[in-house]
């Protein structure tokens, strides 16, 4: 895209939020005809969206039209090393959401997109690169467009606040988070019970430990208060309405397997075959036949636990015949690991 000489007359606001940058304009209004709205949106995309893509390229980012989750020409999937981002435009709004999967303990699926508190979980260097990128984009847009303004994040009023004060503040800010807006689907707990607003519940933390607290609705999630200042954001599938047995036993079988499979991949890649054989016997006692699952559309293998994808077969998840039975359909292809037993 050729650079325009001089500044462009556009008015809008730029906001920062948790690992995200958002641009809002007020140019659309209900009095416009369909053709006028289409022309305005096309110009907004040409002036602003395209310049954000251009700035990302200058900063060393690679971008491509989204092929997973956010698809079509109104979205871009952006990468720079281990840092990723989704750039989306819709009407008068553009959003750039950063994420990573180096440290996403609660939501490693979908590349870590849905990990709660993105900035908090980002490794230091990735967080610095994220901040550098969005500041450079902000500064560029402020210089190009005459009516653009940056609205700094509001001072964190919750600093030092109790968990209940934070929840009450959230309800005041958005009434749709209240209990009357929680569907029956989001009330069904992992043990089949019904989660009630304000009831005592049990849940697993990201390490698989059982903790107890009081549940409060949070849209499609639940905020479980564990003390004066402590709370956790959990889905209904992580919550129990009845006290689980053997509280001292961690419910971390999924995390344990993912960790062991990562160690198996490292040992195989480093050609430490004795260690790989030991890890394989721990993971799959009885020496069963193993399989990997190839996703034809993404052109990648499923990772351990069907959480994420990788192009490296060594890092692909290993699955037994029972585990892949439900995945023997398009666009997946189940591939037997012939000869791996002997190699390990």
Range scoring the smallest mean pLDDT among 133-142, 245-254, 268-277, 280-289: 245-254
So what's the pLDDT on residue 175? Answer: 67
Architecture of domain 163-240: Roll (2.30)
Residue 342 pLDDT exceeds 50:
no
At residue 339, the pLDDT reads 55
- Secondary structure letter of residue 52 according to DSSP: H
Summarize the confidence of residues 280-297 as an average pLDDT.
93
Q: State how far the alpha carbon of 154 is from the alpha carbons of 13, 16, 17, 47, 157, in Å.
A: 14, 10, 10, 28, 8
pLDDT band at 139 (very low <50, low <70, confident <90, very high): very high
CA distance 329 to 269: 30
pLDDT at 176 over 80: no
Convert the pLDDT of each residue in 72-125 to its tens digit: 788 999 999 999 999 999 988 999 999 998 888 777 878 888 888 888 889 999
Q: How confident is the model at residue 4 (pLDDT cuts 50, 70, 90)?
A: low
Give the model's pLDDT for residue 7.
Answer: 82
For residues 321-329, average pLDDT: 92
Position 344 scores a pLDDT of 46
Domain ranges within the chain, ordered by starting residue: 8-151, 163-240, 253-343
Instruction: Give the mean model confidence (pLDDT) for residues 195-214.
Output: 91
pLDDT > 80? residue 6: no
- Spatial distance between the Cα atoms of 164 and 171, rounded to a whole number of angstroms: 11
Is 60 exceeded by the pLDDT of residue 40?
yes
Indicate whether 66 pLDDT > 80. no
DSSP string, 199-261: -EEEEE-TTS-EEEEEEEEETTEEEEE-SSS-EEEE-GGGEESSPPS-TTS---HHHHHHHHH
Model-level pTM? 0.50
Which residue carries 């990723």 as its tokens?
A: 84
Per-residue pLDDT for 29 more than 70? yes
| Predicted confidence (pLDDT) per residue in 144-174, tens digit | 998 899 988 765 555 568 889 888 888 877 7
pLDDT of residue 5: 59
């Amino acid at each position: 895209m050729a650079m325009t000489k001089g500044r462009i007359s556009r008015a809008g606001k730029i906001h920062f939020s948790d690992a995200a940058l958002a641009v809002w304009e007020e140019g659309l209004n209900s009095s416009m005809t369909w053709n006028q709205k289409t022309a305005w949106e096309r110009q907004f995309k040409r002036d602003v969206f395209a310049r954000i893509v251009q700035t990302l390229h200058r900063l060393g980012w690679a971008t491509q039209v989204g092929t997973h989750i956010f698809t079509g020409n109104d979205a871009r999937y952006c990468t720079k090393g281990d840092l990723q981002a989704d750039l989306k435009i819709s009407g008068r709004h553009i959003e750039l959401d950063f994420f990573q999967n180096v440290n996403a303990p609660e939501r490693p699926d979908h590349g870590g997109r849905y990990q709660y508190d993105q900035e908090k979980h980002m490794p230091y260097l990735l967080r610095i690169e994220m901040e550098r990128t969005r500041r450079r984009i902000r500064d560029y847009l402020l210089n190009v467009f005459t009516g653009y303004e940056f609205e700094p994040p509001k001072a964190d009023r919750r600093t030092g606040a109790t968990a209940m004060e934070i929840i009450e503040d959230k309800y005041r800010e958005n009434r749709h988070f209240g209990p009357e807006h929680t569907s029956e689907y989001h009330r069904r707990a992992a043990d089949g019970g019904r989660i009630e607003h304000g009831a005592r519940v049990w849940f697993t933390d990201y390490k698989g430990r059982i903790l107890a607290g009081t549940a409060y609705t949070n849209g499609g999630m639940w905020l479980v208060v564990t003390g004066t200042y402590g709370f956790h954001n959990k889905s209904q599938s992580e919550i129990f309405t009845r006290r689980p047995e053997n509280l001292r036993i961690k419910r971390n079988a999924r995390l344990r397997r993912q960790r062991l499979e990562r160690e198996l991949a490292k040992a195989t890649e480093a050609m430490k075959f004795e260690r790989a054989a030991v890890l394989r016997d721990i993971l799959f006692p009885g020496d069963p036949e193993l399989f990997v699952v190839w996703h034809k559309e993404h052109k990648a293998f499923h990772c351990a636990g069907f959480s994420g994808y990788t192009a490296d077969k060594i890092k692909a998840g290993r699955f037994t015949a029972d585990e892949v039975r439900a995945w023997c359909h398009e666009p997946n292809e189940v591939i037997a690991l012939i000869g791996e037993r002997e190699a390990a």
